[in-house]
A and B are shown apart, each in its own frame.
Chain A
Amino acid sequence: MLKTSDSSSRCTPGRGVRSDRIWSACRSLSGLLVVVCASAQPSVGFPPPPYDGSRAPQVALIDRHMHQAWRQSDLEPSPAASDRKWCRRVHLDVIGRIPTVAELNAFLDDRSADKKARLVAKLLGETDERYAGEYASHWATVWTNILIGRTGGTGDDSLTSRAGMHTYLREQFRRNAPYDRLVRELITATGATRPQDEGFNGATNFLVTKLADDAVQATAKTAQIFLGLQVQCTQCHNHPFNDWKQNQFWELNAFFRQARALRRFEGGNRAVSAELIDQDFAGESNEPAEADVFFEMRNGLVKVAYPAFVDGTSLVDLHGAELGNSGYVSDVNRRQELGKLLIESRWLDKAIVNRMWAHFLGYGFTKPPDDMGPHNPPSHPELLDALGSEFRASGFDLKQLIRWIALSEPYALASRTTRHNESDDPTIGARPQFSRFYLRPMQAEQLYESLLVATRADRVDSETSEAQIETRRRWLSQFTRAFGTDDGGETTTFNGTIPQTLMMMNGELVRKATELEPGNLLYDVLSNSKMSDREQIEHLYLAALSRPPTRDEIGQANKLVALRGGNRAEALADVFWALLNSNEFILIH
């Protein structure tokens, strides 16, 4: 079925560059590029508000809608979270890790009225080049997981290049590519999947392994990820409880049928990579001028489908009866057409707004956020609609969307429940009203990066960056598993489980962090003669929990020191161990 091509001549051994090397190359490259942007930084004395987003009308829009909803459901929001807590959560959500002690203190010391907007702008890489790379890396990781899952491209025989996907996305986020363009590129991409291959286009990795079995997965994932519509069940039958019909699935599917993944082989018969192309599609009746798709209804009846978008717009509507259903790429490039239709659809902006909202607030306006069909109406339909329009009007600017949400009132609320909002508890099945910040566990990637920030455990070994990437990959992979099903299903055993707890209690990373080794944070703190005993304890608390210890906690730590006969190093290692293992460290609050 898949056309194969022997491309070993194109992939000579000398050319095979390790993908992680490319990664590090990109990292330094992006650093350079951002320096250029950062030179546009405003000079002191002129607080120019391109980044004073706190007064942006979109922030006010969110707050207005939220207040209205709180009034209607008789809720009083929790008070605002402290600056420390807000600073911690915004670091975790925007760049994927907790703040360092220095970053935390800088924020707390900032006396300006728009300090929150300044911090967001900094983390977005707009005013401080150092963060541009972190921002891009974090979101590339988030979107790699969305587009190909946590296990995509990790198997030996996968045609997906995880590094290729990440490299591509990193570049998009670094440039703050408009979301519509990003989506269009992912849908229409052609080229090679791996960074080391000629004609590399990392965007191809989204679709390359989803085209098998008549592109069923390409269809289902495109609808789910970009439109928030779960249509996978309609592959076989009309949906039992929503409006999607089986023919709609196959009409959407027909857009992908010119796409082909050509396997590339190297030194043997195992395919190692792939190239995504568009090819004339003859249709199942073998008439390229009217290239059709068959599907079988439950009653055994076979029907025919031609390309039409979920709103019913067909390519015949757009290009006339002559060309509309042609399978010839020179007549109509079906994926290009789909890209345009996707971008025009209101589902697209609502779906990304919902996804982003869930990223920052823990829950979307629908649960799950990528299932927004008519059977699952959103909790705040007007706000969702309005934010979607604003996002569209902003030119699909993801950084703007992040800024609006991060600077909104619901995002700034404390996570404590009060007497006046006890009923607002999604963990017991209530519809989220966002009257407080819901506790949620760090994702595996956030936990890993946060552990490194809090402990500098990675400074202990003089590992190369390649080795560090490999260490990170191994650490993350211990918690994920693919089901091996056609929908790319996978599971994680990460959140709140015994294996996770064992990993924190006894694992390598925390062990390295709590041993006195030159380079790690514990060593630096203990050997810092400028710090008093008390300041040392304080520093450990700030590094792990972004807060100073209470008086009791200082007392407890000192007691432990006494108990150890004055072996401060050992006692403080134990304090640090407890901090890293605590719910307060591992949860976002």
Chain B
Amino acid sequence: MTRFSTPSGMTRRHFLSHLAGASAMAVPALTFAQSLADNAAELKRNHKSAILLWMGGGPSTIDMWDMKPGAPTGGPFRPINTSGDVQICEHLPQVAQQMHHLAVIRSMSTREADHDRGRYYMHTGYVPNPNVEHPSYGAVIAREMEEQVPELDVPPFVSVGGASEGPGFLGMAYAPFTVDSNGRIQNLQTDVAPRRLYERMQMLASLEKRFIGENRGSLATDHAKVLDKTLALLTSQQMQAFRVNQEPQAARDRYGDSAFGRGCLMARRLVEQGVPFVEVDLGGWDNHSNVHNTLRDKLPEVDQATSALIADLDQRGLLQHTVVIWMGEFGRTPRINGNAGRDHWARSWSAVVGGGTIRGGQAIGQTSADGSRVESEPFAAQDLMASVCRAMGISLDTTYTSKDGRPMKIANGGKVIEELFA
């Protein structure tokens, strides 16, 4: 890859501020100038981040975090003790050693048991509405935390695997930057000389400006903003954070040789770089048939990567600044169906959180003996989201204005799950 240096006769700062200025975008030239940090001082370590481990398809939490041994719905797995005051599945032995950092919320109770709707709801705290597109976790946290990391070139919301929801009314500037778990970013290389790229960008900037000036709507402006962000990436050393293969072999081994393992390792590198929100996607949980055999194969991979991530964050002093969320769009039916599988079930399921100011080692809430009902105070997507905001120090009074002028409370006005902080 050609790393370009500043065109002769121009400082690097000058070069990029020129581009930004010329391109008539909302990002002020100053932000650009500030973000040019080929040799920027090491970022401060006290920025706050969140990592969402997204279990696409709806994981069978009754087999993992809220076990019902002996119940007809319980399945074959046994619970084991952990480093916290909570028992979890025998197939998560390494996570068990990290449970003092993690809290299990066993009283998640939601109503969206369709994949699309559930994914939207759990990512945004809102049920789908044809007239408003709500911002997802990543967009909200990127927006709230980006001021902490003005030197950041990498987009503030990175999605490894790409299952996340979009920025909604917060706009394309907070859209997820989707990469695969190998950290290869396609088309990042350019063989065009810097001076020439600069001239091309000037030409392009005037085209963009003209079209935006024709008053045809926000898509035209959005394009220019994304162009600016892309340009920042082309010139940034920070992109090294995506290169998981630069990590020592021993570290890679700890996370495991799987896409999810590499994704978790990349999440740690990105958080170290200052990225406010990273989502790592692990699919394959839609186990309508053969659920337990599937889990027996799948859980070791989850166990290794998740535990390595938590331990690593802790060891590096990052965990107190980094909230980790483990969840899917819903859980699965306590009843085991005729195909030895479990179907979609939103009424009673578990999510797991840790880091930030969250007190680990505990299970919150309780379900009935067969797991089919929540018997304590039920929590919904917006409550979980509000709690994550609290754990990161984001004010719950934060209010956005949707594009049609309606005020929208952060986390849909959800109620903080107080036990997490007790």
Contacts and interface: CB of A to CB of B under 8 A. Distances in A.
Interface of A: 1, 213, 232-233, 236-237, 240, 366-368, 371, 376, 415-417, 425, 427-431, 438-441, 478, 481, 483-487, 489, 491, 493, 496-499, 501-503, 505-507, 550, 553, 556, 560, 563, 570, 574-575, 577-579, 581-584, 586-587, 589
Which 4 residue pairs spanning A and B have beta carbons closest together?
A428-B403, A578-B203, A429-B404, A583-B223
Interface in B195-218: 196, 199-201, 203-204, 206-208, 210-212, 214-218
Contact of B217 (A232, A368, A439): A439
Nearest to B172: A496
B212 A583 contact: yes
Central interface residue in B210, B216, B218, by most chain A CB within 10 Å: B216
Contacts of A416: 214-216
B35 to A, nearest CB: 15
Contact of B155 (A478, A498, A587): A498
B258 interface: no
B219 A376 contact: no
Given A506-B187, A581-B204, A376 B56 contact: no
A575 B283 CA distance: 43
Nearest to B175: A497
B230 A563 contact: no
A470 B244 CA distance: 30
Contacts of A496: 172, 175, 219, 222-223, 226
Contact of A499 (B178, B204, B206, B218): B178
Interface in B208-261: 208, 210-212, 214-220, 222-224, 226-227, 229-230, 233-234
Contact of B188 (A438, A486, A502): A502
Contacts of B415: none
Contact of B229 (A232, A487, A491, A498): A498
Interface in B109-124: 111, 113-117, 119
Interface residues of B, number: 68
A438 B210 CA distance: 18
A366 B214 CA distance: 28
Q: Which of B201, B223, B229 has the most CB of A within 10 A?
A: B223
B288 interface: yes
Contact of A485 (B115, B188, B203, B207): B115
A570 B178 CA distance: 33
A236 B344 contact: yes
A584 B226 contact: no
A240 B187 contact: no
A129 B339 CA distance: 53
A499 B233 CA distance: 11
Interface in B153-184: 155, 161-163, 172, 175-178
Interface string B248-289: 000000000000000000000000000000000001101011
12 contacts: A425-B217, A441-B219, A487-B116, A493-B176, A496-B175, A498-B226, A499-B178, A501-B226, A503-B187, A581-B227, A584-B210, A587-B219
Given A498-B226, A556-B206, A574-B200, 19 more contacts: A213-B289, A233-B113, A376-B130, A425-B217, A429-B406, A484-B56, A484-B284, A496-B222, A496-B226, A497-B177, A498-B155, A501-B230, A502-B188, A506-B188, A577-B203, A577-B204, A582-B204, A583-B219, A587-B223
B187 A505 contact: yes
B57 interface: yes
B39 interface: no
B117 A233 contact: yes
Contacts of A579: 207
B189 A506 contact: yes
B127 to A, nearest CB: 9
Nearest to A575: B203
B172 to A, nearest CB: 5
A486 B286 contact: yes
Nearest to B347: A298
Nearest to B220: A583
B219 A502 contact: no
B11 interface: no
A577 B211 CA distance: 17
A439 B185 CA distance: 29
A277 to B, nearest CB: 22
Nearest to A422: B215
Interface in B379-410: 402-406
B343 interface: yes
Contacts of B177: 497-499
B211 A582 contact: yes
A565 to B, nearest CB: 13
B207 A417 contact: no
B131 interface: yes
B403 A427 contact: yes
Given A416-B214, A427-B403, A498-B226, A574 B219 contact: no
B216 A439 contact: yes
Contacts of B216: 415-417, 439, 587, 589
Given A236-B343, A582-B204, A563 B178 contact: no
A136 to B, nearest CB: 30
A478 B220 contact: no
Contacts of A560: 199, 203
Contacts of B404: 428-430
A579 B212 CA distance: 15
Contacts of B224: 583
Contacts of B343: 236
Contacts of B114: 232-233, 487
B283 A483 contact: yes
A487 B115 contact: yes
Most chain A beta-carbon neighbours within 10 Å: one of B162, B217, B227, B288: B217
Nearest to B130: A367
Contact of A578 (B188, B207, B230): B207
A371 B220 contact: no
Contacts of A371: 130
Given A506-B187, A574-B199, A578-B207, A486 B230 contact: no
A430 B169 CA distance: 13
Interface string B16-34: 0000000000000000000
A497 B286 contact: no
A410 to B, nearest CB: 16
Interface string B66-103: 00000000000000000000000000000000000000
Nearest to B230: A501
A584 B211 CA distance: 6
B190 interface: yes
Contact of B186 (A1, A417, A502): A502
Given A240-B111, A578-B207, A582-B211, A505 B196 contact: no
A440 B219 CA distance: 7
A487 B329 CA distance: 14
B247 to A, nearest CB: 23
A570 B119 CA distance: 48
Interface string B26-67: 000000000000000000000000000000110000000000
Contacts of A586: 223
B132 interface: yes
Contact of B57 (A1, A430, A485, A578): A485
A213 B56 CA distance: 19
Interface string B129-140: 011100000000
Contacts of B189: 506
A586 B204 CA distance: 13
Nearest to A484: B283
Nearest to B180: A481
A428 B343 CA distance: 37
Nearest to B162: A481
A486 B217 contact: no
A76 B67 CA distance: 62
Contacts of B405: 428
A190 B202 CA distance: 58
